[in-house]
Amino acid sequence: MTRIASHRGGTLEFGDSTPAGFTATARMALEEVEFDVHPTADGAIVVHHDPTLDATTDTTGAIIDMTLKEVKAATIRYSAAGHPMTLEELCVIYEDSAVDFRCEIKPNADGFAYDGFVERVVATLDRCSMLQRTTFSSFLIPSLDELQRASTRPRLWLVSPPVLRQLGSDAVIETAITHEIPEIGVHIDTADREVMSKIQHAGLHFGCWAAHTRMQINKALDLEVKVFTTDRPTLAIAVRADRNGGLSS
């Protein structure tokens, strides 16, 4: 069965990386919650998509330059007055949930990996007893290399449309194999049977991200990809259940 991952806790239904979205997702009939992490200036790990608070909250500034207290003072837009959460707080919500983690290691505002960040994320997940329920993802090959050194947990490479277009699927597969990355995720709009079967024939798992509309969700389910992320988890669950004859999972 194709797995559903609630992207940033279901951005289009609950706001971007909000406590309400993550709390709701923990009780949904889906398999994964996707989230992104950034470090603060004082050593905390914050669950937020962007490296800055500019676009998604009532506050401005780069998370890496702020203390946790400063980040926590921000209110996330369209979130019923929710504030950014720490990774530890997210772990508490999912302690007793059947939904597993899909943790994306994000770059800084310049597009580069944060120094020594991966090890700290892995250690925090381990301390909170969530590491064994985590799959990691990243657009950055250096972060995926670091993950391989820090953990034996599954990793997947998020391949953006320009990277797929410029490298082509053969070079993408070669890169994944060179870096021992077992899974590739492409944007749903760049997914098709040809690219999927090439990737699968190379022995790699294949998934998609950003399936937000009914049409995109149906495309992912038609292709029978391993997993897809969606900003509309409630819709994705309903579409999948409908296709399964009314069964919710």
Distance CA 60, CA 245 (A): 47
Distance CA 44, CA 26 (A): 23
Q: How far is the CB of 230 from Fe ion (least distance, A)?
A: 12
Q: Which is nearer to Fe ion, 96 or 110 (CB)?
A: 110
Q: Is residue 104 part of the contact set for Fe ion (CB under 5 A)?
A: yes
**Element holding 63 (H helix, E strand):** none
Beta-bridged to residue 52, according to DSSP, are: 62
Distance CA 5, CA 224 (A): 14
Binding mask 59-98 for Fe ion (x = CB under 5 A): ----------------------------------------
Q: How far is the CB of 134 from Fe ion (least distance, A)?
A: 14
Q: Which is nearer to Fe ion, 169 or 229 (CB)?
A: 229
Non-local (6+) Cβ contacts of 246 within 8 A are none
Question: 């799959």: which residue's tokens?
Answer: 135
Q: Which is nearer to Fe ion, 13 or 36 (CB)?
A: 36
Q: Is residue 36 part of the contact set for Fe ion (CB under 5 A)?
A: yes
Q: Is residue 183 part of the contact set for Fe ion (CB under 5 A)?
A: no
Stretch that binds Fe ion, among 82-90, 104-112, 185-193, 197-205 (CB under 5 A): 104-112
Q: Which is nearer to Fe ion, 36 or 231 (CB)?
A: 36
Q: How far is the CB of 243 from Fe ion (least distance, A)?
A: 26
Q: Is residue 32 part of the contact set for Fe ion (CB under 5 A)?
A: no
DSSP notation for 95-149: TT-SPEEEEEE-B-TTS-BPTTHHHHHHHHHHHTT-GGGEEEEES-HHHHHHHHH
- Judged by CB under 5 A, how many residues of this single chain contact Fe ion? 2
User: DSSP character for 239?
Assistant: H
Distance CA 52, CA 58 (A): 11
Q: Which is nearer to Fe ion, 104 or 231 (CB)?
A: 104
Question: 């914050």: which residue's tokens?
Answer: 46
Residues that bind Fe ion in the complex, under the rule CB under 5 A: 36, 104
